Amino acid sequence: MDPDHELLMAAWTATERSLPGGWRLDGLRCASTGLGEEQRSDDWLAVAIGPDGSERSHRAADPVAALSGLAAGFDAP
């Protein structure tokens, strides 16, 4: 298996495990909002959905950092 893939899978699993009860990891995607030059981005967005349907996300330059930041955001006061 590709080492980058293994690292990403480990980060995904760690993020899932760190979410509070009722929250689920919903996705990891490119932060672009469209095809226009001003809408494109190289950033990544990790998203979690809460038990009440609320959404939390974290944007970062690479996918592992996006997942880690999302998890860390739940620890913040």
Evaluate if residue 74 carries a pLDDT over 80. yes
pTM: 0.86
Evaluate if residue 77 carries a pLDDT over 70. no
Of residues 64, 48, 47, 73, the one with CA closest to residue 7: 64
| Cβ contact 27:16 at 8 Å | no
Question: Which pLDDT tens digit goes with each residue over 12-33?
Answer: 999 999 999 999 999 999 988 7
What local confidence, expressed as pLDDT, does residue 58 receive?
96
Q: Torsion-angle region of residue 22: left (phi > 0), alpha (psi -120 to 50) or beta? A: left
Evaluate if residue 39 carries a pLDDT over 90. no
Mean pLDDT of 50-73: 95
| Cβ contact 69:16 at 8 Å | no
Overall size of the chain counted in residues: 77
